[in-house]
Chain A
Amino acid sequence: MIPELGHFALALAVALAAAQAVLPLWGAASRDKRLMASAPALALGQLIALATAYACLIWSAVTDDFSVLNIAQNSNSLKPLIYKITGTWGNHEGSILLWCLILAICSGAVGVFGRNLPSSLRARVIGVLGVVSAGFLLFALTSSNPFDRLWPPPLDGRDMNPLLQDPGLAIHPPVLYSGYVGFAIPFAFAVAALIEGRVDAAWGRWVRPWTLASWSLLTGGIALGSWWAYYELGWGGFWFWDPVENASLLPWLTGTALLHSAIVVEKREALKTWTILLAIGTFSLSLSGTFLVRSGILNSVHAFANDPARGVFILALLGLVIGGSLVLFAVRAPVLAPSGLFAPISREGALVLNNILLCSIAAVVLTGTTYPLFADLLFGAKISVGPPFFTATVLPLAAPVFGAMSVGPTLPWKRAELWPALQRLWWAALIALVVGVIAAAGLKRGLPALAFGAAAWLIVGAFAEIVERSRLFRIPFAASRTRLAAQPLSVWGSAIAHAGMGVTVAGIAGMSLAQSTIVAVRPGEAVSLAGYEWRLDSVHDGAGPNYTARVAEITVLRNGKPVVHFAPSRRAFTVQKITVTDASIYTTGLFDLYAVLGEERGGAAVLRLHLNPLAPWIWFGALIMAIGGGLSLADRRLRIGAPARRAVAMVTS
């Protein structure tokens, strides 16, 4: 009964989304106020219907209703409750439903928070979101219905891939999808602006908070995925340039560019056409990422049940959404009059440089990711593009981004002088130089030392603008403090986000110095790595709710004193017959000790041991970036929307 209710709610959501796609757009075109006013209600209706459908899916999973095909294939009665819930988005059908639910939340958010938007713009934005929703909901209902029944029901389910039974991965998809799907709102604003033929500062101000929110979530989502790969897959790395990882990096890169170019639209009414294109491009890349993962075209560790027939459906949808918006762009973009001139050396100029470099990195990553496919198509050649390509091409493009990141925010708008700006940053440059020289002397390796210098430059330089604005150390401290407190949150937000990037760069530089070894050890024996003695005490059997395990007990000693006790294990999941390694990690904040248990042969256990300097900083930096974005989002200027459109209340005092 409950699955049927979910099925019905899903069908209802399709109908409401179809109405949401047609009525508001029609109303805006024919200036019918009532039709335009229907938009928020339809969006909320669709959201309620989808939330009901999703609740039904969770209910079926929690109550072990194996007569539902999706649950029988992906759940098991022995699975812990938390993974029964999170498992609903660990498979193709459920994740598409979650994707649609988040899109519906976006529509609903525009309906609720967009009250101060001009009614035609709001109707068009919600209408465009409705078109996307209707397409993907139709896909969910017709070819990926999570409520399909199975008769006769099996006694027990086939269980979820054990790699996914992990708290990090449980929350990774919702966060990542929120980031992906959130870019639908800037996209819808871009399409609506093209239809209206107008982009102004107010438009830039509406688009920015939505972009910022999605960007922060996407940053968090990517970081969670990378963290999961680090501790759960037990490969000891954090980024593998896997096609699916790249698919999430691409919208992040163009989204970061969009975030910055939208500032130029907001402040200076320049770069309008480019910003519109970026908004369309970012969402297109989000969508294509979803498509590439599911069609099975790319050879990747991330496997959903691949089905070329589904791929054709999604491709047709992409053609409609991306192709349609780009046709509109080609036809309507000339209408957007360019204005707001600026000199090459200026805040705008720095943001253009940021855009060029970020988009170049995106182009390089896109080329590397899709080249094997096109090589196969055009020349019939099997080629794989690996990390050396990405390192060699991304690094030279990332270096100038890091260089400019600290300079840009100190430049004034319209026209600036580079030399005085650099003079203001002398102390940041000095600190970066000192860090770089110390690192070079200590490590005797050039590239990591440079990276540490760059990290220091980013972290210190990020606060240069605030130091400058508050005239710190140049006027009495109390006066500086008042000036500091008066800085808008968005200034703090961007400084913190830039510093977060620096922390991540430091973490990546530290990881490049990682030490590791693979050894066969008998119980009682010890090996030494990186100044630590790793002693294998014993290897024994263990058991969990739905797996059996071999557990190694390891004591790590430094100078004969125990530092930490490790128990890495190999878990054999009983239903899926998959063995998963569970790495043990001890972190001090400055470095990680990391141990993985491999196979056992002739009484000896194969251990893989790592010392990863600064590893936690990679994800910590990403978290700081996301927090910076969130802080910026809390800025009052963004919340109040466009002042020009609001009637100002008369205040008498």
Chain B
Amino acid sequence: MISRRALLLAPLGMATLTGISFWMLLDRMRTGKFDPHAVPNPLIGQRLPDFSLPGQPPSPGFSAADITASGRPALVNFFASWCLPCVAEAPQLMALRRAGIPVWGIAYKDPPEATAAFLARNGYPYTRVARDEPGRVAIDFGVYGVPETYLIDKTGIIRWRWAGALTEDVIEQQLQPLLRQYS
């Protein structure tokens, strides 16, 4: 009756496999390699979409060409004055700015005076700030919601996207290795 015995062992085998898979998933969650809430973006590995936006005075506007012209990796950050996580990530953006990483800001669906008040209150971490009041460029980027940050390498390819506030952990574990890789 070997087959019967094998049959009786099958549930244990399946449970063990499931258990090992869950353990691996938990492990990858802890090291940041697996995020169940991550939303994939098809633009990763693609060229930056072509755009040109007006500036938020006093900053002049910028286009996709301006971002790649610097010849070094840069961040594009979508934000809005009405978004609370944007306030939360402001200190992290300031720290990136101090570290010399160019951050191009795009104010998403936000009236100019509100953006100005937001920048006055939370600091100005940006190289330049452009305005996307109709939200068209955000659609081209595939923005899921503000805040959202994209890493563009020096050749203009989108390498990484983060939906939600940048935290110190995210910068430490995900962004810094990529910045080292692409600089």
In the docked arrangement, what's the CA distance between A616 and B18, Å? 38
Name 26 interchain pairs, CB-CB below 8 A, sorted by A: A277-B11, A295-B22, A295-B26, A296-B36, A308-B30, A309-B30, A311-B26, A311-B29, A312-B26, A315-B23, A322-B19, A323-B15, A323-B19, A329-B11, A330-B5, A330-B12, A334-B4, A334-B5, A373-B25, A373-B36, A374-B21, A376-B34, A377-B25, A377-B28, A382-B38, A382-B39
| B1 CB–A CB distance under 8 Å | yes
| In contact, A333 and B8 (Cβ under 8 angstroms) | yes
| Contacting residues, chain A, for B19 (C-beta < 8 A) | 315, 318-319, 322-323
Give, as a whole number of angstroms, the nearest-CB distance from B12 to chain A.
4
| In contact, B26 and A297 (Cβ under 8 angstroms) | yes
| Contacting residues, chain A, for B11 (C-beta < 8 A) | 277, 280-281, 326, 329-330
Count residues on chain A whose CB falls below 8 Å from chain B CBs. Answer: 33
Partner of A284, one of B15, B23, B28, B38: B15
In the docked arrangement, what's the CA distance between A607 and B22, Å? 43
Give, as a whole number of angstroms, the nearest-CB distance from B25 to chain A.
6
In the docked arrangement, what's the CA distance between A152 and B133, Å? 45
- Top 9 A-B pairs ranked by shortest CB distance? A326-B12, A382-B40, A299-B36, A308-B29, A308-B30, A330-B9, A311-B26, A330-B8, A333-B8
Give, as a whole number of angstroms, the nearest-CB distance from A246 to chain B.
15
Give, as a whole number of angstroms, the nearest-CB distance from A196 to chain B.
17
In the complex, the number of residue pairs spanning A and B with C-beta atoms less than 8 Å apart equals 73
Q: Chain B's interface: helix, strand, loop or mixed, by majority?
A: helix
| A439 CB–B CB distance under 8 Å | no
Q: Chain A's interface: helix, strand, loop or mixed, by majority?
A: helix
In chain A between 347 and 385, which residues have their CB closer than 8 angstroms to a CB of chain B?
370, 373-374, 376-377, 382
Nearest-CB residue, chain A, relative to B17: A374
| Contacting residues, chain B, for A319 (C-beta < 8 A) | 19
In the docked arrangement, what's the CA distance between A556 and B40, Å? 44
| A35 CB–B CB distance under 8 Å | no
| Contacting residues, chain B, for A577 (C-beta < 8 A) | 84
| B16 CB–A CB distance under 8 Å | yes
| A298 CB–B CB distance under 8 Å | yes
| Contacting residues, chain A, for B40 (C-beta < 8 A) | 382
| Contacting residues, chain A, for B26 (C-beta < 8 A) | 295, 297, 308, 311-312, 315
| Contacting residues, chain A, for B24 (C-beta < 8 A) | 377
| A273 CB–B CB distance under 8 Å | yes
| In contact, B25 and A297 (Cβ under 8 angstroms) | yes
Per-position contact with B for A302-327: 1 when CB-CB < 8 Å, else 0?
00000011011001001100110011
| Contacting residues, chain B, for A312 (C-beta < 8 A) | 23, 26
| B37 CB–A CB distance under 8 Å | yes
In the docked arrangement, what's the CA distance between A196 and B111, Å? 75
In the docked arrangement, what's the CA distance between A334 and B7, Å? 11
| In contact, B21 and A373 (Cβ under 8 angstroms) | yes
In the docked arrangement, what's the CA distance between A348 and B83, Å? 62
In the docked arrangement, what's the CA distance between A295 and B18, Å? 15
In the docked arrangement, what's the CA distance between A376 and B33, Å? 11
| In contact, B21 and A327 (Cβ under 8 angstroms) | no
| In contact, A327 and B12 (Cβ under 8 angstroms) | yes
Nearest-CB residue, chain B, relative to A295: B26
| Contacting residues, chain A, for B84 (C-beta < 8 A) | 577
| Contacting residues, chain B, for A308 (C-beta < 8 A) | 26, 29-30
| Contacting residues, chain B, for A330 (C-beta < 8 A) | 5, 8-9, 11-12
| Contacting residues, chain B, for A329 (C-beta < 8 A) | 8, 11-12
- Other A-B pairs, 4, CB within 8 Å; known A323-B19, A334-B4: A277-B11, A308-B30, A373-B25, A377-B21
